[in-house]
């Protein structure tokens, strides 16, 4: 439910998305959000057809544009009896340490992320550890925001 809602919210259209695989557990929302901004996580697929809505907008085309061009953003979704703010960003790591990392998007937006719990790091379709996070690497991140703090729960390192 959260995955479908998040995809709809980020894409701004009415085409349904599939639920994320159960193997993603607590990071399913972040995986869908990263996919919406163009990072192929290899953890889920988007089988929705290229249909037109009544206004002539093609949801699949809108999603493709977002995937290619979205740099960062956040969306608040209803999860059971509470709300959750999911944050996504794509960019280059400018700093990394034992507590988190800072990522700068091509438009100059910079955000410091702490490591969330759970944290899943993926590179070339395989889980990897924090040692793979290096300054200069291109990444896509998905996480949750609480107050002013943003915690990364899924990090996809671009090849």
DSSP for residue 62: H
Would 76 be classed as within a structural domain? Answer: no
In terms of domains, do 65 and 89 share one?
no
Highest mean pLDDT, choosing among 15-19, 29-33, 93-97, 153-157: 93-97
In terms of domains, do 152 and 86 share one?
yes
In terms of domains, do 24 and 44 share one?
yes
141-159 pLDDT, tens digit each: 999 999 999 999 999 998 7
Predicted structure pTM score: 0.66
Provide the number of structural domains found in the chain.
2
In terms of domains, do 8 and 61 share one?
yes
**How many other β-carbons are positioned within 10 Å of the β-carbon of residue 55?**
5
Burial-class residue 127 by CB neighbours within 10 Å (0-12, 13-18, 19+): exposed
Residue 54 and residue 83 in contact, taking contact as beta carbons nearer than 8 Å = no
- Determine the structural domain holding residue 65 and report its residue range: 2-71
Would 11 be classed as within a structural domain? Answer: yes
């Amino acid at each position: 439910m959260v995955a479908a809602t998040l995809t709809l919210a980020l894409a701004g259209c009415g085409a349904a998305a599939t639920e994320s695989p159960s193997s993603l557990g607590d990071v399913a929302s972040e995986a869908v959000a990263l996919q919406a901004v163009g990072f192929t996580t290899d953890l889920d697929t988007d089988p929705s057809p290229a249909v037109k809505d009544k206004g002539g907008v093609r949801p699949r085309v809108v999603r493709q544009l977002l995937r290619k061009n979205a740099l960062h953003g956040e969306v608040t979704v209803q999860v059971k009896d509470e709300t959750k703010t999911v944050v996504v960003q794509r960019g280059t790591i400018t700093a990394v340490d034992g507590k988190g990392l800072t990522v700068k998007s091509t438009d100059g937006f910079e955000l410091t992320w702490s490591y969330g719990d759970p944290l899943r790091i993926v590179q070339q379709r395989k889980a990897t550890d924090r040692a793979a996070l290096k300054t200069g690497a291109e990444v896509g991140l998905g996480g949750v925001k609480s107050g002013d703090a943003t915690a990364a729960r899924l990090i996809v390192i671009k090849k």
